[in-house]
Amino acid sequence: MFLNHGSFGACPKAVLAAQTEFRRRMEAEPIEFLWRRYEEPLDRARNALAKFVGARAKDLVFVPNATTAVNAVVRSLELRPGDELLTTAHDYNACRNVLVEAARRARAKMVVADVPFPVGKPEEILEAIMRAVTRRTRLAMIDHVSSHTALIFPIKRIIRELEGRGVDTLVDGAHAPGMVPLNLRSLRATYYTGNCHKWICAPKGAGFLQVKRDRQKFIRPLSISHGANSPRRDRSPFLIEFGWTGTWDPSAFLSIPEALRFMGALLPGGWPAVMQRNRRLVLAARKISCRSLGIDLPCPDDMIGSLASVPLPDAATTDPPGSPLYLDSLQDRLLAEYGIEVPIIPWPAPPKRQLRLSAQLYNSLPQFRLLACALKTELASAACQPGLGR
């Protein structure tokens, strides 16, 4: 029983078949595919994705994942000693590490806004972020949907407030495409990155980066390649450099249009119906979980998409996770004893932890009822053992 769509998504067979066909064509005629015809399907995929996320295709490039995009942006900045890089307590660890390393190299400063959770209203998030802004703040990296706590941040208002203070925004929208409606032109973030392998259900390794037109000349890919001295004038250096960083398998990017088509055709109402159905399911699931745990809902319904986090009793140990992507012993027991795969996230730090629920079209309410019963049993068992579950 898979209740962890949010971590890596799940790619439908029809989309994998499309990817296999791209790979077949590439291996059958690699010169034709990668040299002569490469940009044609890449542009088609970019145009389809740009339409879906409300962006100009010329402002959008493909990257393997959001972490790669964050690296490309932050490592392109010319930071000076004393500059401040702002993030929040809800950020994704891999992306925070990018800021940490950039600050170390430049002798800049990392500032972490203490955004609360549980939280009562979106304004608390906005206020916590703005309190951390100073005249030295150079860049603010803000989640659109936080990975650990599953909160939808009031991202448009945050961008506007930061813009008014002269602060550039790098939005980590890893979870947003396919979960919430997007209009990136309207958002006006300086930089926005998202993953397509999560809620769009594209193959693994399909992400994107959007950069404002006036900043594109400053942002370089992590791998400097042929595009750095290209004499071409038919497209921007931004598209040229990110379009080819070395020999790679572009089939995940090229399969995005099929993922958009396939997922959007699963319900009569198309993508809006998919998003609404998943949101309704996860809201019902977290009510069941909170009722079973005897706790209040940790945030209002309007701050939830198709992910939801629920605080759990403290873990029995403060040992670090056994994997970069967490492996709590409770998560292992739920899988071994009940066949339930669901993440237990050590946030904000062990022994504190969160249960994160994901709802995709293949999930159903009875699955979440079974999870609630299993959790109640396991937590009661832990509480009966001396020193555990406190």
- pLDDT by residue for the chain (390 residues), tens only, comes to 999 999 999 999 999 999 999 999 999 999 999 999 999 999 999 999 999 999 999 999 999 999 999 999 999 999 999 999 999 999 999 999 999 999 999 999 999 999 999 999 999 999 999 999 999 999 999 999 999 999 999 999 999 999 999 999 999 999 999 999 999 999 999 999 999 999 999 999 999 999 999 999 999 999 999 999 999 999 999 999 999 999 999 999 999 999 999 999 999 999 999 999 999 999 999 999 999 999 999 999 999 999 999 999 998 876 665 566 667 889 999 999 999 999 999 999 999 999 999 999 999 999 999 999 999 999 987 654 544 443
Claim to verify: residue 274 and residue 257 sit in the same structural domain: no
Residues 255-280: pLDDT tens digits?
999 999 999 999 999 999 999 999 99
**The whole model's pTM is what?**
0.95
Claim to verify: residue 111 and residue 149 sit in the same structural domain: yes
Q: Which of 233, 263, 293 is the last residue of a domain?
A: 263
Give the residue numbers spanning the domain of 35: 10-263
pLDDT at 358: 98
Write the CB contacts of 13 (distance below 8 Å, at least 6 apart in sequence): none
pLDDT at 325: 62
Is-contact 72 221, C-beta < 8 A? yes
Claim to verify: residue 216 and residue 302 sit in the same structural domain: no
Query: For the chain, how far is it from start to end, CA to CA, in angstroms?
Result: 28
Claim to verify: residue 59 and residue 182 sit in the same structural domain: yes
pLDDT at 320: 60
CATH of the domain at 374: 3.90.1150.10
Q: Is residue 1 part of a domain?
A: no
**In angstroms, what CA-CA distances link 233 with 38, 43, 79, 226, 236?**
17, 16, 30, 14, 7
Claim to verify: residue 250 and residue 275 sit in the same structural domain: no
Claim to verify: residue 230 and residue 287 sit in the same structural domain: no
Claim to verify: residue 89 and residue 112 sit in the same structural domain: yes
Tokens at 182, concatenated: 């997007």
Claim to verify: residue 233 and residue 293 sit in the same structural domain: no
CATH of the domain at 109: 3.40.640.10
Claim to verify: residue 245 and residue 360 sit in the same structural domain: no
Three-state SS sequence of 198-221:
CCCCCCCCCEEEEECHHHHHHCCC
What torsion do the CA atoms of 314, 330, 310, 200 make, to the nearest 10 degrees?
140
Residues 52-72: pLDDT tens digits?
999 999 999 999 999 999 999
Q: Which of 229, 263, 297 is the last residue of a domain?
A: 263
What is the SS3 assignment for 111? strand
Claim to verify: residue 26 and residue 163 sit in the same structural domain: yes
Q: Is residue 323 part of a domain?
A: yes
What is the SS3 assignment for 192? strand
pLDDT at 381: 78
The closest alpha carbon to 165, from 147, 144, 190, 143, belongs to: 190
Is-contact 198 6, C-beta < 8 A? yes
How many Å apart are CA 98 and CA 102, to the nearest integer? Answer: 6
Q: Which of 232, 263, 294 is the last residue of a domain?
A: 263
Claim to verify: residue 219 and residue 292 sit in the same structural domain: no
Question: What's the total number of domains in the chain?
Answer: 2
Is-contact 98 69, C-beta < 8 A? no
Q: Is residue 389 part of a domain?
A: no
Q: Is residue 390 part of a domain?
A: no
